[in-house]
């Protein structure tokens, strides 16, 4: 009976952590230092772009991080290269242009529109919106990449948890190698099939099957291997730890339709280093930005894989050595 009570208490803690984390991340998205550039078209007084950028940076709550760009072409290139998330082009006609990229986060694009609506109303100006990098018509609010990523991550840690709970930690390097081989095969199939569903079956990310398959394989392997490494290191406690890391913290910090600049600072900071956020950013980079921005997700996946390998094989070797040093009865 006591074990059941402790088990129920542990599940309750995970449940409340789930509620707290998701509600804290999404209950009040607030724009914070969204990087943009200000461009002044010909015919406007010199320095008007700098003055406008200074005024935008002085808005209460610092929702924007504004600087200037020499031309609209430069501004659009900076958006494509993911240096900024929007551009505000001042026109001598009084009708300005707000350039956004909803593919970088639809909530960020919406936040920019709301901010500049207030700004222009206060200055008796108007603006039009041009979405330079929109999400696909089959990718509502950019959520498809998030759900694809969640599917990959869930598959990875569930397989590792099942191996750890039903089969147990390997007792020898030979057993560890066999489990690792299963992980590799599963990761390849998971990456290929997940990418195939979204590109060929649903047509959401058509034309990006191969790079998405590679990304999915890496995400599943990194997640599963890290979880198995924890299982080898700390035992069955690895399962709730994996749930805390990948579900309670990882899913809300990935953002989904929310970019990091509208999430609370904590989630914005950790999201780019947990596999749901890593994968979501990777999908976004591949599908909408021609691979720009893949460096950081790739680094994170390498770290998870290396740490997982070290824990998994390191603790297996330690267990094997201890077993071989046990005294044998005569």
| Tens digit of each residue's pLDDT (9 = 90 or more) over 227-278 | 999 999 988 888 889 999 999 999 999 887 777 888 888 988 999 999 999 9
Query: Among 4-18, 148-162, 205-219, which is the least confidently predicted range?
Result: 4-18
pLDDT at site 91:
92
Express each pLDDT in 197-211 by its tens digit: 999 999 999 999 999
User: Rounded mean pLDDT of 205-224?
Assistant: 96
Q: pLDDT at residue 56 above 90?
A: yes
pLDDT at site 33:
93
Query: Among 73-82, 140-149, 195-204, which is the least confidently predicted range?
Result: 140-149
pLDDT level of residue 330 (50, 70, 90 thresholds)? very low
DSSP state of 134: P
Could you tell me what percent of the chain has a pLDDT over 90?
64
CB neighbour list of residue 315: distance below 8 Å, 6 or more residues apart:
169, 229, 232, 233
Q: How many other CB atoms are there within 10 angstroms of residue 70's CB atom? A: 11
Express each pLDDT in 96-106 by its tens digit: 999 999 999 88
Query: Among 26-30, 183-187, 249-253, which is the least confidently predicted range?
Result: 26-30
CB neighbour list of residue 323: distance below 8 Å, 6 or more residues apart:
171, 172
Q: pLDDT at residue 325 above 70?
A: no
Q: pLDDT at residue 288 above 90?
A: yes
pLDDT at site 329:
52
User: Rounded mean pLDDT of 284-306?
Assistant: 95
Q: Give the DSSP H or E segment for 225.
A: helix 209-234
pLDDT at site 236:
85
pLDDT at site 326:
59
Bigger pLDDT: 30 vs 301: 301
Contact between 164 and 182 (Cβ < 8 Å): no
34-131, CATH topology level: Rossmann fold (3.40.50)
pLDDT level of residue 327 (50, 70, 90 thresholds)? low
pLDDT at site 139:
86
Separation between Cα atoms, residue 172 and residue 25, nearest integer Å: 42
User: Rounded mean pLDDT of 29-45?
Assistant: 91
pLDDT at site 285:
95
Contact between 53 and 38 (Cβ < 8 Å): yes
CB neighbour list of residue 87: distance below 8 Å, 6 or more residues apart:
36, 37, 38, 39, 69, 72, 75, 76, 78, 79, 98, 99
Each domain of the chain, given as residue ranges in start order, spans 34-131, 140-324
- Between strands 64-68 and 34-40, the pairing is parallel
pLDDT at site 8:
85
Bigger pLDDT: 283 vs 30: 283
Bigger pLDDT: 16 vs 128: 128
End-to-end alpha carbon distance in the chain: 41
pLDDT at site 258:
77
């Amino acid at each position: 009976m006591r074990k059941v009570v402790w088990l129920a208490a542990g599940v309750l803690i995970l449940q409340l952590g789930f509620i707290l984390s998701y509600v804290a991340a999404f209950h009040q998205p607030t724009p914070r230092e969204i990087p943009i550039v200000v461009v002044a078209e010909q015919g406007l007084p010199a320095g008007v772009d700098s003055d406008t950028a200074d005024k935008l940076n002085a808005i209460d709550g610092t929702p924007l991080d504004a600087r200037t760009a020499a031309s609209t072409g430069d501004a659009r290139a900076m958006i494509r290269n993911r240096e900024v998330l929007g551009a505000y082009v001042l026109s001598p006609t009084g009708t300005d242009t707000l350039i956004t990229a909803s593919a970088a986060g639809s909530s960020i694009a919406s936040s920019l529109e709301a901010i500049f609506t207030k700004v222009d109303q206060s200055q008796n100006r108007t603006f039009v919106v041009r979405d330079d990098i929109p999400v696909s018509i089959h990718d509502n609010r950019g959520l498809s990449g998030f759900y694809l990523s969640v599917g990959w991550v869930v598959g990875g840690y569930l397989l590792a948890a099942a191996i750890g709970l039903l089969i147990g930690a390997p007792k020898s390097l030979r057993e560890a190698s066999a489990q690792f081989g299963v992980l590799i095969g599963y990761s390849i199939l998971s990456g290929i099939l997940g990418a195939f569903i979204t590109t060929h079956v649903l047509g959401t990310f058509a034309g990006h099957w191969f790079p998405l398959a590679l990304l999915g394989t890496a995400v599943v392997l990194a997640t599963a291997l890290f979880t198995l490494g924890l299982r080898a290191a700390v035992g069955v406690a690895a399962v709730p730890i994996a749930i805390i890391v990948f579900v309670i913290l990882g899913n809300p910090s990935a953002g989904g339709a929310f970019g990091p600049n509208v999430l609370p600072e904590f989630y914005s900071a950790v999201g780019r280093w947990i596999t749901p956020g890593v994968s979501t950013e990777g999908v976004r980079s591949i599908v909408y930005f021609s691979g720009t921005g893949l460096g950081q997700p790739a680094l994170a996946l390498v770290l998870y894989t290396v740490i997982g390998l070290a824990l998994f094989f390191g603790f297996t070797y330690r267990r094997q050595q201890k077993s071989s040093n046990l005294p044998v009865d005569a």
